Structure 1
């Protein structure tokens, strides 16, 4: 069995910087962690206030029953997509951007680092912008920039520590979030007259089902594509990684959409935190907001940290976390949070085809193992099958968005997966490369 690495050979006059989170190479078996650690980090990552805001926005456009059906479809698609990527990284020990290098080549891997790291910088900026606006509103402050500045710095600390810091924070914040969601659920049901009253709520009908699904997938398709950043630490079986990751995504993502939707349907307020404030729960709203956004933003900072390490081929994620946070704070101060819907559409076009190319190549073309010609060290600039799969998927997603047919995110995933599988079948008909696991 061959172990593949991206580290450069050490020289006599240089000292390698060691990052215990292995941002530029496979995680060794000795550093793997129990599956429960992965599940709690994923759950904390998906407890995300903007997902509830998106759910509330979509819920106002449909009857509540129809909305729940669309939310379930979006969640199942997202869960299957994320769980497959989790398995690929768990088996190889590689981050998503390193797996992208294996599939797309060195230049293709750089593109993956740019779009995955770049969108996470954008998410970080949007998140601290929302934090600043809502905390300022809660306390009646006229400016929000001090909250953006302080919050942006503090939220990066657990990412800087690494996987263990993110896991610890998730264990603290998730129970608090569940309690507050339960309170809103009870009050919403009382206000609207129970479940029967809720199902009579009608929507405005100004949004297509395809756009609704794309927006709900888009809330976490960028972060979800980078599930490999954490699943590579998992030491469980393939079946367990897939099942528990999918279950965590379904429970938490659908829960976020459900609670965001029920508040919008009952009170006509799409923003969950604003809803808490109108209920007189200002203190709870602030605690929820800080803990909830922190568990997501430290994951985002971690993601653009490892993406930067791959992009510039450096052995430590830390300087890229610092740089990305600085950029995010500047973006947040410019009001980037106001562009959330457009950002979700862009993410839904660019990111899902990458995941489709990875899934189609790893599971269907490579049959679950990376062949010798998929090595990271000495990889060619471009690997045509992977690059073509991504480009076709992105083109199909863009076309879907332009003509307004279907869900661009779903079409991008499926088309890229199919093209990657076709390349794999064509290659296997000519030769069968010797497989090997990375890590």
Structure 2
């Protein structure tokens, strides 16, 4: 008898394998306890007053919550990952583009994350950087190999520890500033524009947020999927930004590990940095495995090992050469989520046929055009690039699909009339 794929890389997650509210909350908090959010928080802390900072973070998380919450709803209703959902909008082979983009960026960030852990820890301890990368890569690949159960365990350990240690660092930073009053009246030396600040806040997570369905498809109910996602953003992501910002205001450093080193918290810094990157990298590797499984049809666990090896071996090269390119690639991901949402909620009115019953196009060129247009709009149209991409690609996909369908229907009617005439 063929062994069941416990991660359901190529099928919908059945109701019998769904998880309850608390397990999903821990997993989603682990997803939002994201290293880049702390660094982004540090950048915002250097360029905004604290009240401006909190306003931007709340507004950014509201937008991110709406985006990821919508994707969470779709995933919980269908039981499908981002990559399988993409088949409905992009076509079966058309979905390979989104899977390649998503997988490639996540493997890249896995390698960057391993190096981001190793470099500061090497400075603090003297342990060889490549040894640290190897250890981190092996451990992170191992937990990603075991799937959702391991992700839940790592998150269960990491989330409370990061919260406690990050909170302690914030209290230390407030004391360094001279009290809460000094924090609340802080004014930056060089201000960041509010639109640019909102772009940083949203852009730091929206590409990873596109992968929300990979995790929320395991939610027992749609309500649970949406609520746990929203809580994760308004608590988890907000905390990450605060940890980065307050330390940055007090020390002038945007990197949380550098902040904690200055505070004399070397061991807590290593723990926070390690656990934060571990939860981030585990989710990245897990999602990349699902993406390449969609293309190769190989089991997710085998693909995860391959991806982990590649990411680990290339970690320092990725760290030194690839971050800017990964950021550019990340800007191409929000359009994928927007097209899936528009396709599900507007064109299919909230209902997809079951995966095994669906008849997919090979390639839906309208969706691919909408994706390319969304990327162009993000980079060329003034405003907030991630929001431009979301709105632009969704509108083009809906309008383009309706126009094509009208021409197709007219063509079918004309052919039927020709048959009748003969």
Same fold (TM over 0.5): yes
Q: Shift in Å at residue 244 of structure 1?
A: 2.5
> Does the aligned pair in 2 maintain the 1:215–1:341 contact within 8 Å?
no
> Does the aligned pair in 2 maintain the 1:215–1:345 contact within 8 Å?
no
Structure exhibiting the larger radius of gyration computed from Cα positions: 2
2:36 matches 1:50:
yes
> Does the aligned pair in 1 maintain the 2:101–2:329 contact within 8 Å?
no
Partner of 2:300: 317
Distance in 1, Cα, partners of 2:288 & 2:74: 20
* Counterpart selection for 1:352 from 327, 334, 339: 334
Q: Shift in Å at residue 213 of structure 1?
A: 2.6
Partner of 1:418: 395
2:319 matches 1:333:
no
Q: 1:74 to 1:337 in 2, by over 3 A?
A: farther
Question: Matched residue of 2:350: which SS?
Answer: coil
Q: 1:187 to 1:376 in 2, by over 3 A?
A: farther
Q: Shift in Å at residue 353 of structure 1?
A: 0.7
Partner of 2:241: 257
Question: Matched residue of 1:202: which SS?
Answer: coil
Partner of 2:417: none
> Does the aligned pair in 2 maintain the 1:301–1:324 contact within 8 Å?
yes
Structure 1: gaps spanning 5 or more residues = 1-14, 432-439
Q: 1:376 to 1:188 in 2, by over 3 A?
A: farther
Distance in 2, Cα, partners of 1:254 & 1:337: 29
Question: Matched residue of 1:368: which SS?
Answer: coil
> Does the aligned pair in 2 maintain the 1:102–1:376 contact within 8 Å?
no
Q: 1:294 to 1:376 in 2, by over 3 A?
A: farther
Q: 1:337 to 1:223 in 2, by over 3 A?
A: farther
Q: Shift in Å at residue 16 of structure 1?
A: 5.0
Distance in 1, Cα, partners of 2:175 & 2:244: 16
Aligned positions of 1:20-169 closer than 5 A: 20-141=6-127, 143-169=128-154
Q: Residues 41-86 of structure 1, C-alpha deviation per residue, up to 9 Å, x if partnerless? A: 0101211223201210232122332222222222221111111111
Distance in 2, Cα, partners of 1:194 & 1:425: 59
Question: Matched residue of 1:106: which SS?
Answer: coil
Q: Shift in Å at residue 326 of structure 1?
A: 1.6
Further displaced range: 161-170 or 207-216 = 207-216
Q: Shift in Å at residue 233 of structure 1?
A: 1.1
Q: 1:382 to 1:305 in 2, by over 3 A?
A: same
Distance in 1, Cα, partners of 2:361 & 2:294: 15
2:372 matches 1:406:
no
Partner of 2:414: none
Q: Shift in Å at residue 28 of structure 1?
A: 1.2
Q: Shift in Å at residue 343 of structure 1?
A: 3.2
Partner of 1:382: 363
Distance in 1, Cα, partners of 2:329 & 2:200: 10
Distance in 1, Cα, partners of 2:24 & 2:369: 32
2:276 matches 1:301:
no
Q: Residues 244-287 of structure 1, C-alpha deviation per residue, up to 9 Å, x if partnerless? A: 21121121111111110111112211111121111111111112
Higher helix share: 2
Q: Shift in Å at residue 428 of structure 1?
A: 9.0
> Does the aligned pair in 2 maintain the 1:120–1:301 contact within 8 Å?
yes
> Does the aligned pair in 1 maintain the 2:28–2:228 contact within 8 Å?
no
Distance in 2, Cα, partners of 1:157 & 1:389: 37
Cα-Cα RMSD:
2.3
Partner of 1:184: 169
Q: 1:394 to 1:133 in 2, by over 3 A?
A: same
Partner of 1:227: 212
Partner of 2:416: none
Q: Shift in Å at residue 153 of structure 1?
A: 1.1
Q: Residues 214-258 of structure 1, C-alpha deviation per residue, up to 9 Å, x if partnerless? A: 33323222221111111111111x333222211211211111111
> Does the aligned pair in 2 maintain the 1:58–1:261 contact within 8 Å?
yes
Question: Matched residue of 2:93: which SS?
Answer: helix
Further displaced range: 127-136 or 53-62 = 53-62
Partner of 2:326: 343
Question: Matched residue of 2:361: which SS?
Answer: coil
Question: Matched residue of 1:398: which SS?
Answer: helix
Distance in 1, Cα, partners of 2:34 & 2:374: 27
Partner of 2:378: 397
Distance in 1, Cα, partners of 2:170 & 2:54: 15
> Does the aligned pair in 2 maintain the 1:129–1:332 contact within 8 Å?
yes
TM-score by length of 1: 0.87
Distance in 2, Cα, partners of 1:337 & 1:208: 29
Distance in 1, Cα, partners of 2:156 & 2:146: 16
Q: Shift in Å at residue 30 of structure 1?
A: 1.4
